[in-house]
């Protein structure tokens, strides 16, 4: 509130983009309800965070988006808002989602995570999530089950196999731990 008040006092509130987010889920003693998991885990409670963007006249006030966003997206989003582009020699890992924020649409995409502790791996593809922790693999539909309770890998073996294959292909491009 103080940041917004200061922007208003300076006459900058209409032309300033304000982003509020976090880099990971709750610390070990936090309550990340309704999600399970904490910082250091690829369960939703460890990776899902709030994301708010304020840009008067450019992004609808009070709007809600189902767009999947990662922290790596903020750089290309903010560059686009400033009518700038990333250096082609150093392409960003994130994508510019400003059009989706402005027109209310969503873009299909895949996000990947891995964490050495407990041999954790995850892939989010729209509503579906492939999850592997300590050698146990799961498939969740996060739109229907944000708490990651109903493992659907037996009911949806094709989706499970496809997401697992996508994760493994991506992981092959990463440096070893």
Q: What is the pLDDT of residue 26?
A: 82
For the four alpha carbons of 19, 23, 29 and 30, in that order, the dihedral sign comes to: positive
Give the contacts of 63 (CB within 8 A, at least 6 positions apart).
101, 104
Q: What is the pLDDT of residues 38-97, one digit of tens each?
A: 899 999 999 999 899 999 989 999 989 989 999 999 999 999 999 999 999 999 999 999
Q: Confidence band (pLDDT; 50, 70, 90) for 24?
A: confident
Q: CA-based Rg of the chain, rounded to a whole angstrom?
A: 18
What does the pLDDT average to over 147-165? 98
Please give the Cα distance from 74 to 95 (Å, whole number).
Answer: 8
Q: Give the pTM.
A: 0.89
The answer on pLDDT for 25 being more than 90 is: no
As separate numbers, helices (DSSP H) first and strands (DSSP E) second, the chain gives 5, 6
For the four alpha carbons of 64, 67, 72 and 77, in that order, the dihedral sign comes to: negative
Please give the Cα distance from 25 to 35 (Å, whole number).
Answer: 10
For the four alpha carbons of 64, 70, 75 and 79, in that order, the dihedral sign comes to: negative
| Residues paired with residue 111 on neighbouring β-strands, in sequence order | 124
Q: By three-state DSSP, how is residue 2 classified?
A: helix
């Amino acid at each position: 509130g103080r940041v917004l008040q200061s922007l208003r006092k300076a006459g900058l509130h209409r032309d300033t983009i304000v982003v509020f987010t976090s880099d990971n889920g709750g610390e070990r003693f936090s309550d990340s309800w309704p999600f399970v998991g904490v910082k250091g885990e690829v369960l939703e409670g460890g990776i899902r965070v709030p994301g708010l963007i304020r840009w008067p006249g450019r992004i609808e006030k009070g709007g809600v988006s189902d767009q999947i966003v990662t922290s790596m997206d903020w750089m290309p989003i903010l560059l686009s808002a400033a009518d700038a582009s990333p250096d082609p020699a150093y392409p960003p890992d994130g994508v510019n989602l400003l059009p989706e924020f402005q027109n209310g649409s969503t873009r299909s995409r895949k996000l990947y995570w891995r964490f050495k502790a407990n041999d954790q791996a995850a892939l989010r593809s729209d509503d579906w999530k492939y999850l592997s922790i300590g050698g146990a693999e799961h498939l969740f539909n996060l739109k229907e089950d944000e708490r990651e309770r109903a493992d659907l890998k037996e009911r949806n073996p094709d989706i499970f196999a496809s997401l697992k294959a996508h994760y493994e292909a991506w992981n092959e491009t990463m440096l070893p731990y």
